[in-house]
């Protein structure tokens, strides 16, 4: 499945590129503006230092917060070999699961794919906590591995996908 993970990467590029372009433009303009003589409002060193500081803080905050995202990077069992699997098909506006009962305490591969527009997959545990999310680009899939406690789990679409979005709920049982 070469396509798994590619959707998330494309989405990240799609979402961050406009901000990156704006940031680089501001960076470029601030350096160019700072090139004028000091009498015209110089302070060039401070401007460059300020933009580097803001950029640095932005990068550090983003990198250090990755672990808190309930996704394949944070909430999932990385490097664990799954021994069971559930396939989640996302359509407008329903999820189609190939299983409704899973074994507990077992590394479970959750493979999701969207067959039309963009959808999100939010997996909620029996207490209603969000344990994992996946973002699905049209026609692309994602996967993650979770080890689940017994109980009733709910899957909700987390990306607005049209009229029936709010009704896009499915469930499966562990145990």
Binding positions for Cu ion, rule: CB under 5 A: 157, 161, 165, 168
**Beta carbon nearer to Cu ion, 108 or 133:** 133
Taking the least distance from each CB to Cu ion, the nearer of 150 and 164 is 164
Q: Token pair of 32, please?
A: 């160019």
- A 10 A CB-CB count for 63 gives 9
Whichever of 135 and 174 has its CB closer to Cu ion, that residue is 135
- E strands, 12-129, are 84-91, 94-97, 101-102, 107-114, 119-124
Q: Which is nearer to Cu ion, 110 or 168 (CB)?
A: 168
Phi and psi dihedrals of 147, rounded to 5?
Answer: -110, 115
Q: Closer to Cu ion at the Cβ: 26 or 167? A: 167
- In the complex, minimum distance from the CB of residue 139 to Cu ion, in angstroms, rounded to a whole number: 16
Determine contact, residues 76/145, Cβ cutoff 8 Å: yes
| β strands within the chain, DSSP E | 84-91, 94-97, 101-102, 107-114, 119-124, 130-136, 141-147, 151-156, 169-174
Q: CA-to-CA distance for 170 and 5, rounded, in angstroms?
A: 23
């Amino acid at each position: 499945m070469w396509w798994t993970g590619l959707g998330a990467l494309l989405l990240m590029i799609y979402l961050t590129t406009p901000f990156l372009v704006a940031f680089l433009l501001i960076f470029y303009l601030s350096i160019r503006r700072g090139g004028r003589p000091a009498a015209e409002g110089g302070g060039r060193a401070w401007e460059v230092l300020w933009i580097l500081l803001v950029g640095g803080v932005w990068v550090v905050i983003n990198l250090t917060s990755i672990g808190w995202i309930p996704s394949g990077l944070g909430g999932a069992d990385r490097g664990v070999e799954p021994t069971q699997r559930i396939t989640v098909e996302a359509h407008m506006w329903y999820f189609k699961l190939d299983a409704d009962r899973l074994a507990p305490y077992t590394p479970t591969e959750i493979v999701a794919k969207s067959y039309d527009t963009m959808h999100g997959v939010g997996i909620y545990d029996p207490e209603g906590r969000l344990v994992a999310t996946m973002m699905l680009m049209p026609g692309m899939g994602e996967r993650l591995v979770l080890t689940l406690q017994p109980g009733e789990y709910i899957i909700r679409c987390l990306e607005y996908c049209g009229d029936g979005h709010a009704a896009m709920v499915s469930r499966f049982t562990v145990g």
